Amino acid sequence: MSQRGLEALLHPKSIAVLGASQQPGRAGHLMMSNLLAGGFNGPVLPVTPRYIAVCGVMAYPDIASLPLPPDLAILCTHAKRNLPLLEALGQRGCKTAIILSSSPEQFAELKACAQRYAMRLLGPNSLGLLAPWQSVNASFSPLPIQKGKLAFVSQSAAVANTVLDWAQQREIGFSYFIALGDSLDINIDDLLDFLARNAKTSAILLYLENISDARRFLSAARSASRNKPILVIKSGRSQQAQILLNSPLGLDAAYDAAIQRAGLLRVQDTHELFSAVETLSHMHPLRGERLMIVSNGVAPAAMALDELLSRNGKLAILGEESLAQLGSALPEFIRTDNPLDLRDDATPQRYLVAIKALLDSHDYDALLLIHAPSTAAPGGTTAEYLIEALRQHPRGKRITLLTNWCGEYSSQQARRLFTEAGIPTYRTPEGAVTAFMQMVEYRRNQKQLKETPAMPSDLTANTADAHRLIHQALAKGATQLDTYEVQPILLAYDLSTLPTWIAKDSAEAVHIAEKIGYPVALKLRSPDIPHKSEVQGVMLYLRTANEVQHAAEAIFDRVKHTYPLARIHGLLVQNMAYRAGAQELRITVEQDAIFGPLIMLGEGGSEWGHENQAAVALPPLNMALARYLVLQAVKGGKIYGRSALRPLDILGLSRLLVQVSHLILDCPEITRLNIHPVLACGSEFTLLDVSMHIAPFSGDPQARLAIRPYPQELEESIALKDGSQCLCRPILPEDEPALKHFIDRVTKEDLYYRYFSEINEFTHDDLANMTQIDYDREMAFVAVRGEEIIGVTRSMSDPDNTDAEFAVLVRSDLKGLGLGRQLLEKMIAYARAHGLHRLMGITMPNNRGMITLAQRLDFDIDVQLKDGIVNLILPLHADGRQ
């Protein structure tokens, strides 16, 4: 399926309405009325054998009679007619169709029919779409919408109608308004790819009920979010709601982790959704997280402050210069602080002098103005004063400003004035702070998306050993391994458990205890009793042989009494770990139905509810991502920031989480891992109890992951003409410093050939975009000699995975060694294996080296002297032609 099909849907040149009707109230009449009222300037083609004309437009009796193949067809007919109509549309050359209603029994046939004719489908059961910039109202909505820069995509027609109604009242405009329906073909990820490149769209708002392809969604979302803010509201937080929505049952925290990882922002409810629309429509981007609050009453300021602190927000601290300016501008009885209470007798002039003093300050990043209804300061008049002051001040257009004019009746004029002035306004102090914290969270997610990651320098992994041990266990029929059995597997990844021995009976337990020394712990081994606490199957601090013997016999007796049929595999015997001042944590890996493996972190405890007691992340993890997981767990109250005696070693815990991530990535046979507890004591992390579930695995191990990990299998050593060797491998996020050093050693002329412009310096964001790539849709290979990058080739495929643009850059002082050719040959082989049809590049006519290389590798050379460029095109045919 093609993104070009989306162009025909979202920017159609002609629209056919199948089942067009003259009868008011019928779907075909409403659709025709809306299209004509919307002012669409292309042909509107009603198709019906019943009428000569519909809404004054000449009708056609059938699809074959249409004077031209329509870009877009809208099926307003009974569901039973969908399939033959779609077949006829395909034969006529129609590019896209909106199916308003259909039964699930038809879905497979409709999709197969559309695929035969390379036709894109929106729906079935879609409300349709509105594209104000194209004057298209191809929907059931009678409400026109204004042109704007916000795109809204919804999986729910009911939510779409609600937002339409609200936006009409607030006079908020959209670039696109799309209701997906059942997403038989066109899905969220398709639209993200289109909207990310659409010039009329500056921000995207999504309403999600479910995701069908986690990898595809995250790939598209991560790519789009680097260019435009994307906010998400996801319903179905509980499993009961997921059942109601007919969504796959999954962990809601996994959606949080995925949305955060992609650099998006999740809003929690409809109220926050409306706030988000207001915010995206008007608010300037944040420079930082410090909020300044100004109010004409202490109570609303306190409400705002409570909301800010409950969301882990930062209150700005004013410097001496700002305090002095406020002090000289305001009456002596007003305390200059943050929040700044101007008192309930504050006049518009008092607001004005306070704002003018603050506009000169750089001690805050956003300013919240609160106004409670007041006779001394009428809402509308005060708003007019402030809007004018902002218009005249040099910083007025750059400041991040939020307003909350409380009340309803007396505040309507002020809110209208703020909306007309492009200033976000909210009905409550809490709503304004919620909107501010949405932008703060979005900023944090974007920062995380672009942060330079690192891997522990001493990280080791013996994958072959781990695979051998797991396969040996599977060959014996084992599906669940306990601490003793897991020890050697974890050791292959430098993860150490507390030394553990197995005792068959009480006598052997005593013998082991005497040998290793007291005190010891005994733990039941039984695959039939998942929770040892049910039979008091864990006995701690046993200090003598007599205590060990009695404890072992008591465990066996309790099991026989409570679970007479349970299999007993003896006892685990361990030294007692040193627990004084230590902190008990829990690390668990679970399989999610949508996102695959999840890594969860929380406090130790016998019972653990994943939904509210764990912070969740998607693998793969690096040190930066693992650190975010730890900080998120601390800030969210999932774990404590310190034990009774010492602070938590965040760096050490992050390293442990990275090791767990590597284990899970390398060993797809591991379906569940539970490390409980992890004893954190300073820089030491001791794994006391570990259980691992395993199962045979076949197929692509990367396919189970929502985020494609580093493709290590693409690494290879290559020889240069001077006899030296270098490693050619996919680029890594932690290559950022080495890439900057490489670019610094490339001449300005070579950089000009590569980027078609003079570039003085690459920013951190530039380098992050180059190194933190999505290996699914983008690939970059670096040639590394020693610790230095000496050459780079990269390609970016289109969303259809049909064509890819490539580029090659070699360090200027190392030309002539054959490196450029080897890098390009590596990219050609990758592109062909990746299923691409064409590899394309652009260079300049005087870049003879690149043109000659391309000719030798059988590229088609197309010189465009008028434009000053040379197009390089390589068909990647199945017959092997390069």
| Per-residue pLDDT, 270 | 74
| Per-residue pLDDT, 531 | 77
Integer Cα distance of 588 and 674 in angstroms: 4
**Contact (Cβ atoms closer than 8 angstroms) between residue 550 and residue 507:** no
Give the bridge partners for 871, in sequence order: 842, 862
Q: Kind of pairing, strands 860-864 and 869-875? A: antiparallel
Picking from 802, 798, 706, 596, the residue whose alpha carbon sits closest to that of residue 190 is 798
| Per-residue pLDDT, 3 | 63
**Contact (Cβ atoms closer than 8 angstroms) between residue 267 and residue 273:** yes
Integer Cα distance of 237 and 251 in angstroms: 8
Integer Cα distance of 725 and 38 in angstroms: 65
Q: ∠ CA 222-224-225 to the nearest 5 degrees?
A: 65
Residues 6+ apart with CB under 8 A from 486: 497, 690, 691, 692
Q: How far is CA 563 from the centre of its chain?
A: 46
Q: Kind of pairing, strands 615-617 and 366-371? A: unpaired
Q: Kind of pairing, strands 538-542 and 520-524? A: antiparallel
Token readout for 57 is: 């437009």
Q: Tell me the residue type at 676.
A: H
Give the bridge partners for 575, in sequence order: 520
Integer Cα distance of 10 and 8 in angstroms: 6
- Residue 616 is classified by DSSP as E
**Contact (Cβ atoms closer than 8 angstroms) between residue 187 and residue 213:** yes
Strands (DSSP E) along 30-173, which ranges? 44-47, 53-54, 57-58, 72-75, 96-99, 120-122, 128-131, 136-139, 147-154
* Number of other CB atoms surrounding residue 225 within 10 Å: 22
CB-based burial, 663-677: b 16+ in 10 Å, e otherwise: bbbbbbbbbebbbbb
* Number of other CB atoms surrounding residue 629 within 10 Å: 25
Token readout for 95 is: 């590019």
Phi-psi bin for 558: left (phi > 0), alpha (psi -120 to 50), beta?
alpha
Integer Cα distance of 824 and 781 in angstroms: 9
| Per-residue pLDDT, 716 | 95
Integer Cα distance of 488 and 473 in angstroms: 12
Residues 6+ apart with CB under 8 A from 220: 188, 189, 190, 192, 193, 196, 799
What domains lie within the chain, and their CATH numbers?
3-280 (3.40.50.261), 287-429 (3.40.50.261), 454-498+577-707 (3.30.470.20), 505-575 (3.30.1490.20), 712-875 (3.40.630.30)
Token readout for 351 is: 């607001």
**Contact (Cβ atoms closer than 8 angstroms) between residue 77 and residue 97:** no
Sign of CA dihedral 402, 406, 409, 414: negative
Residues 6+ apart with CB under 8 A from 392: none
What number of H helices and E strands is found in the chain? 28, 39
10 Å CB burial of residue 575 (0-12, 13-18, 19+) is middle
**Contact (Cβ atoms closer than 8 angstroms) between residue 731 and residue 780:** yes
- In angstroms, what CA-CA distances link 465 with 292, 460, 501, 688? 57, 12, 21, 22
CB-based burial, 42-81: b 16+ in 10 Å, e otherwise: bbbbbbbeebeebbebebbeebeebeeebbbbbbbbebee
3-state secondary structure of 627: helix
| Per-residue pLDDT, 156 | 85
Integer Cα distance of 699 and 679 in angstroms: 36
Going from the first residue of the chain to its last (882 residues), give the mean pLDDT of each consecutive group of 10, the final group possibly shorter.
76 97 94 94 96 96 97 95 96 96 91 94 91 94 84 89 83 91 91 93 91 91 89 81 72 90 86 77 83 96 96 94 94 93 93 93 95 89 93 86 89 90 91 91 83 75 94 94 94 90 94 93 88 86 95 93 90 83 90 94 74 86 92 89 80 95 96 92 88 94 91 93 94 93 90 75 88 90 94 89 91 93 96 92 90 94 88 76 40
For residue 511, the surrounding DSSP H or E stretch is helix 506-516
10 Å CB burial of residue 162 (0-12, 13-18, 19+) is middle
Count the alpha carbons within 13 Å of 578 in the hemisphere toward its beta carbon: 5
Integer Cα distance of 55 and 49 in angstroms: 15
| Per-residue pLDDT, 609 | 62
| Per-residue pLDDT, 321 | 94
Picking from 409, 422, 402, the residue whose alpha carbon sits closest to that of residue 380 is 409
* Number of other CB atoms surrounding residue 301 within 10 Å: 22
Strands (DSSP E) along 346-431, which ranges? 366-371, 401-405, 425-426
Count the alpha carbons within 13 Å of 850 in the hemisphere toward its beta carbon: 23
Integer Cα distance of 43 and 804 in angstroms: 35
Q: What is the pLDDT of residues 179-224, one digit of tens each?
A: 998 999 999 999 999 999 999 999 999 999 888 899 999 999 998 9
